[in-house]
Structure 1
């Protein structure tokens, strides 16, 4: 039987990330500012991040050299063509609509990170990115769920 000190616990909150320009943006500090107080109460557990959008994505990657984010956007533009000459049928919200959905599926909309001693247990050079795939971005919502002891 679990003691009160080791009883499993949960915390959840929705964070609104302000609109960003197209590209990959390091949002680790914004996330930590919003969840820091809750996070500090966990000795061991998991943090789950879920982006409630289909035209942006989350990923974990380089947190130091911003060239990595620029190069990633360059890669995405080459792999998923855009514009009126692209082969996509779904263009209800413009020519960047379907490419944004494809890019979102490529990177995904959720992440899981271990929690150790009240901190996200990521590597030294890892950070959480919000990848905005639309030209006319809107604020994005991330549901953060923490569970553990």
Structure 2
């Protein structure tokens, strides 16, 4: 009988290595190796947390939202020693990215760049104009940066570089509130 993929742990590739079943004991995971005389190793069972954060409407442009996100998830985040934070924006005319967290000129320059490479107005070639002249360009800009981020968690904190921050890039002239689903997974 072959164990299911969800019950295996894989390690370095070698001729003597074989995946072995994982048995749960008292909320802990017991990992054993059939090719070793070593005692079983106990590791913490993974945990999950999820929260939907509503951000107030922002003017068009790039906005640093790291502190708003941390304010909402800080309590849950502090319970993770190691893991991943996944941020998902539930909209198609805004985006998320990680970039400069110090000089606001970077946010302004990024907005200038986006507006130059994605044309708007009556001379733009877009067919989709039902929701206004800024809507189709907003969809394109959203696809360029994307609507999801994955950030490592280390010792209860988002493990980003010194000058990195999470941005909400608002691509509409008259924005609405934006929702970000934050999912935390780890130990």
> What TM bracket, shorter-length normalisation?
over 0.9
Give the corresponding residue for 1:46: 84
User: Hey, what's the Cα distance between the residues in 2 that align with 1:6 and 1:84?
Assistant: 58
User: What is the aligned counterpart of 1:24 among 34, 46, 62?
Assistant: 62
Give the corresponding residue for 2:175: 137
Question: What TM-score do the two structures reach when normalised by structure 1?
Answer: 0.98
For each residue in 1:61-91, what CA deviation from the matched residue of structure 2 results, as whole angstroms up to 9, or x when unmatched? 0000000000000000000000111100001
Give 4+ residue runs of structure 1 displaced > 3 Å after superposition. Answer: none
Larger fraction in helix = 1
1:143 CA drift (Å): 0.2
User: Hey, what's the Cα distance between the residues in 1 that align with 2:115 and 2:167?
Assistant: 17
- Secondary structure of 1:47 counterpart: strand
1:99 CA drift (Å): 0.1
1:17 CA drift (Å): 0.5
User: What is the aligned counterpart of 1:68 among 85, 88, 106?
Assistant: 106
RMSD: 1.1
Please, which runs of 5 or more residues in structure 1 have no aligned partner? Answer: none
| Number of equivalent positions | 149
Question: What TM-score do the two structures reach when normalised by structure 2?
Answer: 0.78
1:6 CA drift (Å): 1.1
Please, which runs of 5 or more residues in structure 2 have no aligned partner? Answer: 1-22, 30-42
Give the corresponding residue for 2:4: none
The structure, 1 or 2, with the larger RCO (C-alpha pairs under 8 Å, 6+ apart) is 1
User: What is the aligned counterpart of 2:119 among 66, 78, 81?
Assistant: 81
